[in-house]
Amino acid sequence: MKNKKFKLVISSGKGGVGKSMLASSLAILFARMHKLVALDCDVDAPNLAIWLSEVQRWDKIKNISVSEKPVIDYKKCNSCGLCAKYCQFGAIKMIKKKPIVNPFTCEGCGACEIFCPQKAIELKPVKSGKIKIKKTKYGFPLISGQLFPGEVGSGKIVSEVKREADQYEYEIIIIDSSPGTGCPVIASLQDANFVVLVTEPTPSAFTDLKRVLEVVNYFQLPYRVVINKWDLDKGLSQKIKKWAEKRFLGQISYDQQIFQAISKLRPIMETKLKAKKEIKNIFNNLVRENLV
């Protein structure tokens, strides 16, 4: 390993392409060689614990605040309606001559606080999400972040998860990123050392792969490409391989037994499926090419 604190991000442009399956498997394999911490930074839909069969008995669960919402003091409010007028998100409505905040559409921008002439509005921290921590049966810590429904600040939740990881001694961090190109993805890629991009042979997945690659290239990060379910469309898989050129890392076959395994909470590395061998080949390619 070239870097004693190496951050490896598993990312994808499209959801459902096998990112968490690969992240969980690589975490198990790397943990046999290095001190490792696994992070689930897909904070809108964390599922790394499921792929690791670690859904129960968390050692620590804590709520965190990364955003603020307005609180109205109706004793000071004179019902002028300026807060509702200047709310760009339509989160404040005048109901029976009283401003009412819809917390699910409020972005916490603070315009209402600024424009209130009576100083009746104050932004206050809200519980935005939670972080769960446990030591897995494989010996490494798993840190999972989750944004509460209707809350904002997914990227900030990811930053908090990564900050939590810094409290541990590690040689490598495996980060299971959100799909797409939004704030949680950007936060996952910041200060990363290497990225494995997962795709599948569908037009939408290939297009989204190119989109997330723009973010990866912005951060000037080295990367490799993995094709999951490659045999669903061998022609398109070949096109993706040709496009990736030397950055093609490996492929995983489509197998319905994978879904049966995960429904029984059996990690891929504890099965005899073909995918287990294929993921080991991907792992060996990472190690052999001295990429990690």
Q: Are 39 and 161 in contact (CB under 8 A)?
A: yes
How much is the pLDDT for 1?
Answer: 52
Give the residue range(s) of CATH 3.40.50.300 domains in the chain.
Answer: 6-64+129-288
Residue pointed to by tokens 């307005």 = 70
Q: Are 106 and 91 in contact (CB under 8 A)?
A: yes
Architecture of domain 67-126: 2-Layer Sandwich (3.30)
**Rounded distance between C-alpha atoms, residue 241 and residue 236, angstroms:** 9
The angle, 0 to 180 degrees and rounded to 10, between the axes of the packed helices 19-30 and 274-288 is: 60
Q: In this structure, what token pair is assigned to residue 62?
A: 């804590």
Range 16-32 average pLDDT: 97
Q: What percent of the chain has pLDDT over 90?
A: 93
Give the residue range(s) of CATH 3.30.70.20 domains in the chain.
Answer: 67-126
How much is the pLDDT for 292?
Answer: 72
Distance of alpha carbon 242 from its chain centroid, rounded? 28
Q: Is the pLDDT of residue 290 over 80?
A: no
For residue range 235-271, list pLDDT tens digits in order: 999 999 999 999 999 999 999 999 999 999 999 999 9
Biggest CA pair distance of the chain: 70
**Total-model pTM:** 0.90
Q: What angle do CA 30, 34, 36 make, to 5 degrees?
A: 75
Q: What is the overall mean pLDDT for the chain?
A: 95
Main-chain dihedrals φ then ψ at residue 199, nearest 5 degrees: -140, 180
Q: Where are the alpha helices (DSSP H) in 166-233?
A: 183-189, 203-218
What top-level class would CATH report for the domain 6-64+129-288? alpha beta
> Buried b vs exposed e over 6-25: b needs ≥16 C-beta within 10 Å?
bbbbbbbbbeebbbbbbbbb
Q: Where are the alpha helices (DSSP H) in the chain?
A: 19-30, 48-51, 82-86, 111-115, 154-165, 183-189, 203-218, 234-244, 256-263, 274-288
For residue range 41-83, list pLDDT tens digits in order: 999 999 999 999 999 999 999 999 999 999 999 999 999 999 9
Q: Is the pLDDT of residue 2 over 70?
A: no
How much is the pLDDT for 54?
Answer: 96
How much is the pLDDT for 228?
Answer: 98
